[in-house]
Structure 1
């Protein structure tokens, strides 16, 4: 059984210190907006109530966080500018894909600076991620290895790590994050911060240098199909009040229905009809979370092309585990600035965070 530390029914809240935050969530839209300095958009693919948690801190030129998600979601994200992004699973069911590469238990997940991330999570996952300033990491790598040759981190992919390398990487990242959140005063002292940065840089560099080679063939096909999915998403969002049919989408993409079906099943694991509905349901959910006194469920549903209110409510509850009227009653908790929250509350001093 995976231990995520998420009590049933936990509502979204933020408990930050000056540089640290612990954010349990129960909504994919809220979760996407919760990670500091990231621009994200989540599409929930599996039906049921969403549960998630983000534990995050910034240490000098490094951001480190642990993300838990209980639902299959398709993530489109842009991390901090001019930074490398490196991740490793803590727990990962089958079915995860990072930039078109399958994610396994000991995968090292890497993203180039300024490249958009596409990550399809499995039904249950917990990952540890570090975002490192490019110049800082490049300088550390040159000083450590004594060479200027490009490192494997220059690609956006996953690489399988030996267990003897993956385990110490997880331990190092967990220990640094746990110390920063449970004992925030370590972030107020230059000496301890420098030591934490050095620990992370060393662990990441060791893992990167240990990466094994991997064929590009499977990823190339997935990359093309991912581009098709993204173009379809943009088309649906641009025509939200007049949702396209599969035939119209096929004609716009200049593809056969069969080819379109295969692309969506391979990338997202759902068919085109379900995808079209899910994009609109997520759009309606975001509007419900940000609704004003003058907004209504019916009005928002109509804006997203839903004309049968009973079917809208049924589809909505099947995907998100609650009726749209329940979402409308929630206090708005997504700010207009991505990665920032409203109504934050501070944790108790010295509160310990248990990481599995």
Structure 2
């Protein structure tokens, strides 16, 4: 059985059409049920398809020459939502011509266009950007928000926890993912008023398909003892960049160490299987595909510098969320919590 087709912004990202089409082709070789709407310059897309005959019958091209620039402000990009490859890919989801959209383009523009076209789900105030990150265990950890919302109140954090847990159930298969709020300490007294209020609400909530286990510090995110880490977009983006930077630092340090002497080079040959495993584990392409949670539709952000394997992973993320009906899961969890009976009150949450 084939899935709804996936709209791919073929013009987005650092490498553009070639990598986006190659990534979609790789995803289809792994899962022949995938079908695509490739949005972008028709001539360039056709040239790219010449190298991937497996894509011809599975793809339709929507011609578009206008592209959102990487440094373009979201407000500027919104004005061209009906003419750019990014905007047309998102609108295909809105019209029902595609089940999901994948883009490696400007993150801010993608969020703004997605929110305007698809709107947020009932019970969700703001969508959040969620991504998978590796851990020391066999499963990945989901972290949100990673930059969509720089300031968040307690209500937002509670909603992020619900959305992240629904996503985690798809990824990990756990019936009740372990959820923690990112904080400067694990003690119950630590953190801002918003964090304290969100923690109180999550502790008191019953019937949710998650286990709230308090706070987590940034150095424990990748240890494997938490499934979902919830934070505001400002702190989340800083934490993400710090983790990515630390991973690059370690790999570069190992490269320099192994090149330092003949003995080190011999040591590298002996330890190569272990270093290759480390490289694979830390390669961001193997965890590519951040999701805008909370929208009436599936939109996946691929890293701008992703290679074909990374784009294929982003496509696979979109397909899996369609197959598992993520939006329905989130809606059911919101109904369980009774978010329609809540309203903001300063930094806290109170009943109507």
**Greater share of helix residues, 1 or 2?**
2
The alignment's TM-score, normalised by the length of structure 2, stands at 0.29
- By relative contact order (CA 8 Å, sep 6+), the higher-ranking structure is 2
**Greater share of strand residues, 1 or 2?**
1
